[in-house]
Amino acid sequence: MRFVRIIFSPTGGTAKVAAAIAKDWLPAETVDLSDPNGAWAGLALQPEDVALIAMPSFGGLAPRVAIERLERIRGNGARCALAAVYGNRAYEDTLVQMEDAAERCDFRVIAAVSAVAEHSIMHQYAAGRPNRADCEQLAAFAEKVIEKLRSGDCAKPAIPGNRPYKKAGGAGLVPKAGSGCTECGLCARRCPVGAIDPKSPKSTDAKRCVSCMRCVSICPQGARKLNAAMVSIAALAIRKACAEPKQNELFI
């Protein structure tokens, strides 16, 4: 049996949650769905394997590209736990969307977790999360999942969400390169969807961009930014929904 972490984590928040859940499940193989070079393509698991599939929630849904890449993996009956990570507003239909995708590629879903991480755009929401208390709670969730695995129980949990899923939002916020850009090309090489032209890194294809914020988070010059006024408007729009800290949840 092997354990595989299948993760889409452009800015690291989802990876932190996955690490907290899986810290005692080592040794583990990590498959990065945000890798634009496609190391995830053609991966095949065995029925005795176990996977943790973790994705962020963007506007209440998993990123389309993450779902598409997951569906290129062959689960072959392997058991899996799902983790939807959100910035303290709501994860809405993310988990059921992930559940359906996992089942389409022949995983057996035995558990699911919703977890809070610092918002990738409005950093004032869920700042510093997952914190120490979150990580301890997520580790406790993992123990319950391990117990279920050891018992041989493969029952599918009741996972919240709607089918059909909510309608995906319109165009998101697209980062732009400022005057500090040195055209080093790091953002272009690491963009999960190839929205930045390697030959002209200051340009971004707004139609391809999924607003994952990887380019902003990794720019060594801090030169890629969002329109501050638009971010302020977006932050005000979700302020009420983010007023109270949300709790992590386990469905098993």
Instruction: Enter the tokens of residue 85.
Output: 């990570």
Residues 129 and 10 in one domain: yes
Q: Quick one: pLDDT at residue 26?
A: 64
Q: Which residue has the higher pLDDT, 169 or 178?
A: 178
The Cα 16–Cα 20 span in angstroms is: 6
Residues 36 and 160 in one domain: yes
Q: Quick one: pLDDT at residue 171?
A: 63
Encode pLDDT of 208-244 as tens digits.
999 999 999 999 999 999 999 999 999 999 999 999 9
CA dihedral 173, 174, 175, 177 (to 10 degrees): -150
Residues 106 and 157 in one domain: yes
Residues 34 and 88 in one domain: yes
Encode pLDDT of 97-134 as tens digits.
999 999 999 999 999 999 999 999 999 999 999 999 99
- What is the pTM for the complete model shown? 0.96
User: H or E element: which one contains 147?
Assistant: helix 132-151
Could you tell me the residue range of the domain that residue 156 belongs to?
3-164+246-251
Residues 19 and 88 in one domain: yes
Question: Strand 249-251 vs strand 108-116: parallel, antiparallel, or unpaired?
Answer: antiparallel
Asked if the model's pLDDT at residue 179 lies above 80, the reply is yes
Which of 87, 128, 14 lies closest to 234, judged by CA? 87
Query: What are the beta bridge partners of residue 83?
Result: 54, 113
User: What rounded mean pLDDT belongs to the chain?
Assistant: 95
Residues 91 and 192 in one domain: no
Q: In this structure, what CATH number is given to the domain that contains residue 23? A: 3.40.50.360
Mean pLDDT confidence for 135-144: 97
Cβ-based neighbours of 213, under 8 Å, separated by 6 or more:
10, 11, 120, 121, 175
Structural domains in the chain (count): 2
